[in-house]
Structure 1
């Protein structure tokens, strides 16, 4: 007997991609699917395209639940979708991405045969134009035993489309079926609670495709604006992380431990981002903060000194190489 899988697709002005994403669910070799599409106030042809698929789903014996609402942002769209979930397992799909064949079946079968797991993740493809590359290539990332720690340290991707979660576990954490209605950080809100002190399995096969679209800007004013927006968003992600952490535990040791982990990830990411924007002053600021955590690495020092003190960076590279040779 197949377990019912609920798939939520939040949608906002995605007419260019909906045939691909909805079609990838429709073509799955798994019959017990409940597709929930939340149209978050689209002003394009999204609704028309969704309705064109509804009859095809019904003819195939699949459920397609369509909900239209005023624009509430991604978090609000997910919250609406969660109210309609009736499956034993749940997964999300962005409107501009797609599942590969077997994606739902293989993850559902994994959960059915691994009752000790609260969820399962898989590999996937990044796709940008003609290029494609795997999410996960290193064995240590494939063999992560503590996903909560790995997510806190930024050691693996948090794209929800590669995960499938047990609904009962998820709704134990969110009994009112509401995540924080933020416009960012949804993936962390879905994955962190399910992985906290729980086991999450892994399927070493790409089962989803995540498309990267070129939104690059060339003008200096645009670059400055992007830098400011990215910095604000990054702070928003950190705020969401600590909201989730405080929701999961009141233990002061755990709060300090995981807080340090995520702060190191945040400082490192911001340092590298500022180096990319050639803002050395801010990069040095984040490096200084990173050093206050226990997770500053020799590679972090090489990154900053490659710009601020190249001779020292060269010395550190030699030291790193010697350490790697000793490990062998």
Structure 2
């Protein structure tokens, strides 16, 4: 636990899952230790099953032993991102909890600003914006900005990365933490939080840096397809909140994703049917542009990151 804190400061737990990137973990840890908010519990959840990788993580963690006490969890079981974060959440002692990926890093005042944001506005969850780094360059893209206005808006336009979130621990426990899925764990977590009508606030400041290694969009692997299905299944519970126009917008976006998945799985007959259906459902220039962009990439760049 970090020291030199005021006794009235509430404990914040930072959970950092790590898998296969021990060489970048040091920067993530340093960004937590340099926080202006001092009353912090830091938990490193080692999700590596390989002994060599676990030893590398232990070496990084032990290099900070003279500076701070860091809780290390590593039993050789690979649980995936959701399982690793939930494991950390199970032992977290903080009243508040936030998360950091092993290749990302916090701004020095990230935790202080979000705790103040919660307490001044009587919130359950604070969500910040982020810097977006790709191949060493900072990009100002839509992903940088959280969008957590309401459950209905989140289903259509939502954007929330895990490290954006600082929440009361009891909120995270009430929604049963992260859903086990290959992708969209952060999206599904926020979906559950908004569905429970917790008070979520957006602090419009970029308070951490996300390092993107896979291009601006994901490739549509089998894991991605599973993740999208889980996302759509969970969102379907709340589609009754949407009016006809919003439902059309949602369905159109869903169809574009399914087109990419069908292309990656080489389901060409189903792809042809859905491509035709999507074209007939275009209702705006923006949808037409998105459709053409998707079509071009499916035909000419099927293996490109999306």
Q: Same fold (TM over 0.5)?
A: yes
Equivalent residues of 1:79, 1:181 under 8 A apart:
no
Is 2:172 the counterpart of 1:170? Answer: yes
Equivalent residues of 1:111, 1:120 under 8 A apart:
yes
**1:298 corresponds to which of 272, 275, 285:** 285
Equivalent residues of 1:89, 1:166 under 8 A apart:
yes
Equivalent residues of 1:5, 1:91 under 8 A apart:
yes
Equivalent residues of 2:182, 2:226 under 8 A apart:
no
**1:50 corresponds to which of 41, 61, 66:** 61
Measure, in 2, the Cα distance between the counterparts of 1:255 and 1:303.
Answer: 21
SS at match of 1:56: coil
SS at match of 2:63: helix
Equivalent residues of 2:82, 2:181 under 8 A apart:
yes
Q: For 1:25-44, list aligned pairs within 5 A.
A: 25-41=32-48, 42=50, 43-44=52-53
Residue 137 to residue 302, structure 1, CA distance change in 2 (3 Å): closer
Measure, in 1, the Cα distance between the counterparts of 2:140 and 2:207.
Answer: 11
Q: 1:223 corresponds to which residue?
A: none
Equivalent residues of 2:179, 2:189 under 8 A apart:
no
Q: 2:160 corresponds to which residue?
A: 158
Name the TM-score, length of structure 1 as normaliser: 0.71
Measure, in 2, the Cα distance between the counterparts of 1:292 and 1:285.
Answer: 11
Unaligned residue ranges in structure 1 (runs of 5+): 59-63, 217-225, 310-328
Residue 126 to residue 280, structure 1, CA distance change in 2 (3 Å): farther
Residue 31 to residue 266, structure 1, CA distance change in 2 (3 Å): same
Q: Which moved more, 1:102-111 or 1:196-205?
A: 196-205
Q: 2:199 corresponds to which residue?
A: 199
SS at match of 1:7: strand
Name the TM-score, length of structure 2 as normaliser: 0.76
Is 2:139 the counterpart of 1:133? Answer: yes
Unaligned residue ranges in structure 2 (runs of 5+): 1-7, 297-306
Equivalent residues of 1:165, 1:194 under 8 A apart:
no
Q: Which moved more, 1:234-243 or 1:252-261?
A: 252-261
Q: CA deviation at 1:271?
A: 4.4
Q: CA deviation at 1:187?
A: 1.1
**1:85 corresponds to which of 76, 92, 104:** 92
Cα RMSD of the aligned pairs, angstroms, is 3.9
Equivalent residues of 1:145, 1:199 under 8 A apart:
no
Q: CA deviation at 1:74?
A: 1.8
Measure, in 2, the Cα distance between the counterparts of 1:65 and 1:21.
Answer: 15
Measure, in 1, the Cα distance between the counterparts of 2:269 and 2:14.
Answer: 45
Q: From the CA coordinates, give the structure whose radius of gyration is larger.
A: 1
Measure, in 2, the Cα distance between the counterparts of 1:289 and 1:137.
Answer: 28
Task: Give the number of equivalent residue pairs.
Answer: 281
